[in-house]
A and B are shown apart, each in its own frame.
Chain A
Amino acid sequence: MSKQESFLYVLISGIILILILAGFIEQGFLDTLRGLVALQAHPARLIHDFTALEGAGAALVNSGLVSALALTLVKLAKVRLAGPTIAAILTIMGFSLFGKTLLNVGPIIFGVYLSAKVGRKPFAAYLLIALFGTALGPLVTYLVFQAGLTGLSSVLVGILGGTVTGFFLPSIAISMLHLHQGYNLYNIGFSCGFFGLFAASILAAAKMKIDIQVMWNQEPSLTLITLIPLTSVICIGSGILLGKKKAFTDFLAIQKIPGRLPSDFVDQVSAEGTLVNMGLLGLLGSGYVFIVGGDFNGPVLGGLFTLMGFGAFGKHLKNCWPIVTGVTLSCFVFGKNLAAPGPILAALFGTTLAPLAGQFGVFIGIAAGFVHLVMVERTAAWHGGLDLYNNGFSGGLTATLFVAILEWLKTTKESRKEGTQ
């Protein structure tokens, strides 16, 4: 392991430790443990804010523990801790504040592991699919606790459902890449949404209730409000510590990369520049939430952690701002409140479309953000909130639309230029 990778391990472990300690301090040891246990059985589908259900402390400790599991898997699979794995761990960190639990991620990861074994591939080859695939964790929770089953049968059905889901995810995820050609950063979100359509349809056919509910913490504590700015400052400080002035020149170099999947900024530029990029994205994202008057609760922190995580794997200031502008513009045109759950999450998670802006320019980025907002407000109902990465699902649809049109325009323009039509 290189010195740089060791540094990243220390940094990510440190952030995980901060989450766990902050959680226990926030809520008290025993109450946090009680809340943590209770969270495992709560509905996890969109949008169940864990900070509202069992307190910020329990949610933070849950986040820390699930992230620690993800970091351990990266180490065990002998995969480099770099752009994609940092993105996966920080995404898991965020979503464990509103949907992922230690209980519901296990069967999905095991299913992906089985898929790798059947395909005679090392688990490392499917590690990213296993980590991001935990977006369908709520399906496991639903089958175990909300499907109306009892006793051992509910546990077995839940585990089996999650394992089967994980088993099929690699094949779906690989196919879905062809549709948007890497212009939707949350490809597994797109894949999970697609799979979720079928899962939700089966559950609905079996007369199971699978409607969308919104549990939203409107009074976040000071710990939650300060968490992302603190983590961002730590990232920027670590980048400067690691690279000094080079951290800023490398940060500027990152802004020139379109960001299309797979763009590992740690590999393509440097860890120090990447850390500065992550930190600035976190600070500016927090600034946006603050300006629009949003709540720094579980889902919003999830969006900010994901924004920061993908600051190592495709997102930067230059390719993100057009998307956020597009979402904001869409809110103004359609009279939506920027601080409402849908719009604020769309602004943060909608940056999944950042590569469109990075590759094709500001106008396409703004247009993509504009379309994304109206799409994402409909798609959650389609999969019953089973896919936590609903913005990834919507983003995949939006990116596919834009890629189809842009590809047609490109070939038509070339044909006309060559005079073949």
Chain B
Amino acid sequence: MKEYILHLIGEMAKFVLDSNPSRMVISLHQEEDGLHLAILDNVPRSEEELEKIRVALNAPKRPELSEYYGIMAGQDLLGNSRLNLVGWQVKHAEVFRTQEGTKIDLWFGGERFDSSFFSIPKK
């Protein structure tokens, strides 16, 4: 589980750092059947950019890709960050504009996991 989380955090951090922010906060909250990652930065993004992030992170489930290629998430320095590698593994994703920049909420979990039962507030 530790490695899995590191992969996800690594890819999300790479994505944020590609935009050269002066602030980045990544918060992790684990529960029995799943986990919540919140990523905040101070990079202002257009609505179009936010929509692209939403689409990538809410990609349709692709078990043939997520299990095999998903392992590459957060593992390399070369090339662009690839949110779809994370998106195939996400149970639910939300992307908001904040006063300073962007907040991305990601929920991961097994079949039984339901983000609506999560004990921390969404906003």
Contact = CB atoms under 8 A, between A and B. Distances in A.
Interface string B51-62: 000000001101
Contacts of B75: 178, 181
B68 to A, nearest CB: 6
Interface stretch (B8-16, B35-43, B76-84, B92-100): B76-84
The 8 closest A-B pairs by CB, nearest first: A125-B67, A181-B76, A262-B69, A124-B63, A79-B64, A125-B63, A127-B64, A174-B71
A212 interface: no
B77 A84 contact: no
28 contacts: A79-B64, A80-B62, A80-B64, A121-B67, A124-B63, A126-B67, A128-B65, A128-B68, A170-B68, A174-B68, A177-B68, A178-B71, A181-B76, A181-B79, A182-B72, A182-B76, A182-B79, A183-B78, A258-B80, A261-B69, A267-B59, A267-B60, A267-B62, A403-B76, A407-B77, A407-B78, A410-B78, A411-B77
A410 B71 contact: no
Contacts of A129: 68
Contacts of A128: 64-65, 68
Nearest to A125: B67
A166 to B, nearest CB: 15
Contacts of B67: 121, 125-126
Contact of B64 (A125, A183, A258): A125
A223 interface: no
Contact residues on B (Cβ < 8 Å of other chain), bracket: 10 to 19
Interface in A369-421: 403, 406-407, 410-411
B76 A125 contact: no
Nearest to B82: A260
A121 B78 CA distance: 30
Contact of A79 (B59, B63, B72): B63
Contact of A84 (B65, B78, B82): B65
A339 to B, nearest CB: 35
A122 interface: yes
**Could you say which of B69, B72, B79, B82 has the most chain A C-beta atoms within 10 Å of its C-beta?**
B79
A104 interface: no
A181 B66 CA distance: 15
Contacts of A178: 71-72, 75-76
Given A174-B71, A177-B69, A359 B63 contact: no
A274 interface: no
B68 A260 contact: no
A182 B71 CA distance: 11
Contacts of A165: none
A125 B79 CA distance: 25
B27 to A, nearest CB: 27
B56 to A, nearest CB: 10
A72 to B, nearest CB: 15
Given A173-B68, A177-B71, A267-B59, 8 more contacts: A80-B64, A124-B64, A125-B64, A258-B80, A260-B79, A267-B60, A359-B79, A407-B76
A65 to B, nearest CB: 23
A264 interface: yes
Contacts of A122: 63
Contact of B65 (A183, A260, A262, A403): A262
Nearest to A406: B78
Nearest to A124: B63
A174 B75 CA distance: 12
A405 to B, nearest CB: 10
Contacts of B77: 407, 410-411
B64 A85 contact: yes
A84 B64 contact: yes
Contacts of B63: 79, 122, 124-125
Contacts of B64: 77, 79-80, 84-85, 124-125, 127-128
A262 to B, nearest CB: 4
Interface in B9-51: none
A44 to B, nearest CB: 26
Nearest to A78: B63
